[in-house]
Amino acid sequence: FLVGGKKMSSSKGNAATAREMVALLPAHILRLLLLKTPINRQIDFDPTGDAVPVLWDTYDRLAEKAWSGVEDDDSQVFIFSHLPGQREGVMQSRFLPRFSQIAFFVQMPHMDVYEEVAAMKGSELTEADRAEIDLRVTYANRWLENYADDKFIFALEETLPEVGGQLTTEQIAALATLADKIATTPDMDGQTLHGFIHEVKEESGLTPKEFFSAIYLLFLAKDSGPKVGWFLSTLDQEFVAARLRQEK
């Protein structure tokens, strides 16, 4: 194993024991990591970065191919990442929420993970769906608690962060405009909010980074985060409008 392109070394504090790897990844995901890497190539895997979410995304992509009946190397890797006694069961499709989204959900106390995933799926969750969610919640929490870089750690700011001097006049004006649209649209749905966000962004003349980073700063005290429209749609509408206006 390599970490960040460097060989793991216990003296440098970047070694991962077999026990730690098994704790970080369920067996079928760890097998996937091994199977998808050419046998003569070292595995470069840094659990602090996005390697863990990307690996889960890879599993999801291979699963969808296998479930759709595609017979290729990807489907074989998916099948053989599971033990023989498990393979018949895993060929039964289920909804696979992205690991990165689950990792965000578990950090937001106001979110019900099952409700959020059901909304993503667009239908009622099955028993298999719930089992998959439970698995991902377990491993997302382990990753966040023990390995994930700070850029993956989010906490909704309950009070207005100190942002004095960090926002430009143009950013403040754009956020106030967005707040007005939200405040004057009762029972706003996510699609409407998404439209408002992009409408205001275009009219403001701000770059996407300038516009979205201002929103993240007010809600998360960071300059990056999850998709803005989806994130704001999970919050109380009055709270969102007040925070965008920087009301204390």
Average of per-residue pLDDT values in the chain: 90
Lowest mean pLDDT among 127-136, 169-178, 229-238: 229-238
Q: Quick check: 116 and 104 in contact, CB under 8 A?
A: no
Residue 47: predicted pLDDT? 87
Residue 202: predicted pLDDT? 97
2-152 matches 169-244 in fold: yes
Report pLDDT digits (tens) over 187-203: 888 889 999 999 999 99
Contacts of 126 (CB under 8 A, 6+ apart): 94, 95
Residue 3: predicted pLDDT? 58
169-244 to CATH, choices 1.10.10.350, 3.30.70.2500, 1.10.443.10, 3.20.20.60: 1.10.10.350
Distance, in Å, from the CA atom of 97 to the CA atom of 167, rounded to the nearest integer, reads: 34
Report pLDDT digits (tens) over 60-102: 999 999 999 999 999 999 999 999 988 888 899 999 999 999 9
Could you state, in order of their start, the residue ranges of all structural domains in the chain?
Answer: 2-152, 169-244
Q: Quick check: 232 and 240 in contact, CB under 8 A?
A: yes
Residue 208 — very low, low, confident or very high, per pLDDT cuts 50/70/90? very high
Residue 5: predicted pLDDT? 52
Q: Quick check: 157 and 219 in contact, CB under 8 A?
A: yes
Report the share of the chain in percent with pLDDT over 70. 92
Q: Pull the structure tokens for residue 83.
A: 């033990």
pLDDT higher than threshold 70 for residue 14: no
Q: Quick check: 244 and 175 in contact, CB under 8 A?
A: yes
Mention the CATH class of domain 2-152: mainly alpha
